[in-house]
């Protein structure tokens, strides 16, 4: 009798920066359960998401292609994912897997699952908190039980939203990392946040009225991560209880990081800074993934799909732009990634070039923070990216720009398509094309409510039939 193919349990967390995970050395104990998972598996220390935000990041993660390969760079991507690429769900579905996606209905990058399940919980509940991960568990655990019971190999994709604003973890997590007075009138650190018109109305919907301390809001972010970690333990315990842990590859990663109060980007994930580009990657599979390994080499989000397929033993003739990381886990070497292209089209349209020492950021149109067109940071001497050296180092700017443009030209030639960042001119969905001034961008862009923020994450929700525990299901 042929041995059943292994399962894939995939945690895709939205807006999780790895430097706020205790599994990655953060001083607050935010992720003890994920840390235990990492200790029994392999953790990648320098994993990056080069194209933000959600839609291009997941497109790359789930296809193994960079943004030139997916042709996706914007949050509000128009149309579906192109048929020139195959998603991990499609590849595994064709290989005999049952595939279910929880919490990502409607986004073009989630194409190809046989079944979609939704869960609620973006905005505050009656108590003013948002138990997103418990809502996910009520939907995901029965589906995990069903998939295990049916006996086919499965791919269960779980999109956790707790680190994405609004940060509203339930008790006791909301004050776990904060012992101050968030209403202290002497504290003025929230003044610039409340003064930022594009986001202020949104913040007023979930940040306490009169809050003066930005550290309170940042502590809510950490609390949301800790709350999610506790809820994830329920899923990991269920895997063990079902007796499928030795036949299940577990992937834990994120689409992008998050800015808190750094760089004037205020509790969101725009700006091509390290806090937004750095994400976790942890793999776990007893006996098949090295235990307690930490990989220091630079890896990219496009490496995830080819790595997963390699571990599962599913063959594909797709010429991925990412590469399997299995050789690194087995102590072998791969060509080092020393520089790579970075893009964003969330609230600003920018691109750049990151090396081991330097980062160049070049705005393709004026942004709503009134930032300079060109930014240059020394990542070794200034890891927090607080000193823009562009005017002081014009020759270095020119050199990095030249390297970036040469790489763009090469990828355009290889794919036969122009850089998608150059063609997505209505990336913001406002119908006005590129912004001509920062003031125009500032006056045009706006989030009004958690529901509006949720709508930005993908296309309209599909109509769905009722499923267990109040979830909504859709068979593809």
**Architecture of the domain whose range is 7-332+460-475:** 3-Layer(aba) Sandwich (3.40)
pLDDT greater than 70 at residue 2 = no
Read off the pLDDT of each residue in 422-445 and give the average, rounded to a whole number: 94
Task: Please tell me the least confidently modeled range out of 141-150, 169-178, 414-423, 450-459.
Answer: 450-459
pLDDT of residue 67: 97
Residue at token pair 């842990």: 245
Taking each continuous run of H as one helix and of E as one strand, the counts in the chain are: 15, 15
pLDDT, tens digit, 9 for 90 and up, residues 277-291: 999 999 999 999 999
pLDDT, tens digit, 9 for 90 and up, residues 361-402: 999 999 999 999 999 999 999 999 999 999 999 999 999 999
pLDDT of residue 459: 44
Task: Give the number of other CB atoms < 10 A from CB of residue 332.
Answer: 8
Rounded to the nearest integer, the mean pLDDT of the chain is 93
Higher-scoring residue by pLDDT: 254, 128: 254
pLDDT of residue 125: 82
pLDDT of residue 475: 46
pLDDT greater than 70 at residue 56 = yes
pLDDT greater than 60 at residue 199 = yes
Burial class (CB in 10 A: 0-12, 13-18, 19+), 412: middle
SS3 227: helix
pLDDT greater than 50 at residue 465 = no
pLDDT band at 19 (very low <50, low <70, confident <90, very high): very high
Task: Give one DSSP letter per residue of 131-153, joined into a string.
Answer: -HHHHHHHHHHHHHHHHHHH-S-
Read off the pLDDT of each residue in 51-78 and give the average, rounded to a whole number: 95
pLDDT greater than 80 at residue 55 = yes
SS3 475: strand
pLDDT, tens digit, 9 for 90 and up, residues 409-421: 999 999 999 999 9
Report whether 439 contacts 365 (CB < 8 A).
Answer: no
Read off the pLDDT of each residue in 307-331 and give the average, rounded to a whole number: 96
pLDDT band at 447 (very low <50, low <70, confident <90, very high): confident
pLDDT of residue 176: 96
pLDDT of residue 66: 97
Task: Please tell me the least confidently modeled range out of 125-134, 214-223, 278-287, 334-343.
Answer: 125-134
Read off the pLDDT of each residue in 101-119 and give the average, rounded to a whole number: 94
pLDDT of residue 463: 33
Percent of the chain at pLDDT > 70 equals 93
Same fold? 7-332+460-475, 341-444: no
Domain ranges in the chain are 7-332+460-475, 341-444
Helix, strand, coil percentages for the chain (3-state, nearest 5):
35, 20, 45
Query: What dotted CATH number matches 341-444?
Result: 3.30.1120.10
pLDDT greater than 70 at residue 451 = no
Structure tokens at 329: 């886990």
pLDDT of residue 79: 81
Dist CA 220 CA 174 (whole Å): 6
Report whether 86 contacts 324 (CB < 8 A).
Answer: no
């Amino acid at each position: 009798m042929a041995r059943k193919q292994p399962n894939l349990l995939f945690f895709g967390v939205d807006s999780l920066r790895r430097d706020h995970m205790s599994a990655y050395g953060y001083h607050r104990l935010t992720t003890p359960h994920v840390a235990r998972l990492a200790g029994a598996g392999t953790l990648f220390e320098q994993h990056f998401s080069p194209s933000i935000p959600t839609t291009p990041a997941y497109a790359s993660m789930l296809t193994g292609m960079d943004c030139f390969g997916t042709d996706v760079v914007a949050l509000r991507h128009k149309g579906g994912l192109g048929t020139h690429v195959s998603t991990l769900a499609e590849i595994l579905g064709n290989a005999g897997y049952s595939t279910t996606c929880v919490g990502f209905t409607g986004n073009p990058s989630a194409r190809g699952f046989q079944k979609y399940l939704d869960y609620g919980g973006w905005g505050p509940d009656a108590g003013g908190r948002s138990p997103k991960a418990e809502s996910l568990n009520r939907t995901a655990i029965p589906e995990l039980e069903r998939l295990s019971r049916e006996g086919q190999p499965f791919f269960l994709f779980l999109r956790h939203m707790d680190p994405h604003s609004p940060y509203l973890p339930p008790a006791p997590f909301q004050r776990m990392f904060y012992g101050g007075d968030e209403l202290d009138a002497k504290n003025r650190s929230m003044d610039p946040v409340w003064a930022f018109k594009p986001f202020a109305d949104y913040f007023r919907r979930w940040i306490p009225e009169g809050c003066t301390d930005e550290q309170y809001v940042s502590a809510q972010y950490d609390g949301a991560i800790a709350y999610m970690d506790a809820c994830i333990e329920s899923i990991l315990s269920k895997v063990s209880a079902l007796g499928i842990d030795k036949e299940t590859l577990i992937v834990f990663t994120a689409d992008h990081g998050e800015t808190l109060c750094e760089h004037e980007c205020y509790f969101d994930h725009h700006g091509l800074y390290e806090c937004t580009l750095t994400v976790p990657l942890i793999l776990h599979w007893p006996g098949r993934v090295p235990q307690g390994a930490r990989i220091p080499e630079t890896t990219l989000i496009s490496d995830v799909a080819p790595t997963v397929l390699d571990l599962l033993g599913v063959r594909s003739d797709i010429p991925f732009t990412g590469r399997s990381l299995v050789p690194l886990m087995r102590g072998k070497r791969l060509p080092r990634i020393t520089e790579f292209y970075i893009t964003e089209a969330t609230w600003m349209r920018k691109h750049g070039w990151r090396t081991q020492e330097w980062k160049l950021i070049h705005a393709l149109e004026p942004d709503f923070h009134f930032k300079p067109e060109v930014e240059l940071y020394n990542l070794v001497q200034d890891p927090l990216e607080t000193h823009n050296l562009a005017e002081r180092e014009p020759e270095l700017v020119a050199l990095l720009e030249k390297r970036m443009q040469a790489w763009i030209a090469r990828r355009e030639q290889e794919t036969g398509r122009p850089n998608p960042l150059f063609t997505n001119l209505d990336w913001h969905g406002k119908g006005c094309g590129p912004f001509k001034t920062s003031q125009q961008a500032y006056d045009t862009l706006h989030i009004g409510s958690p529901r509006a923020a949720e709508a930005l994450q993908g296309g309209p929700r599909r109509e769905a039939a009722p499923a267990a525990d109040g979830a909504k299901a859709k068979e593809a």
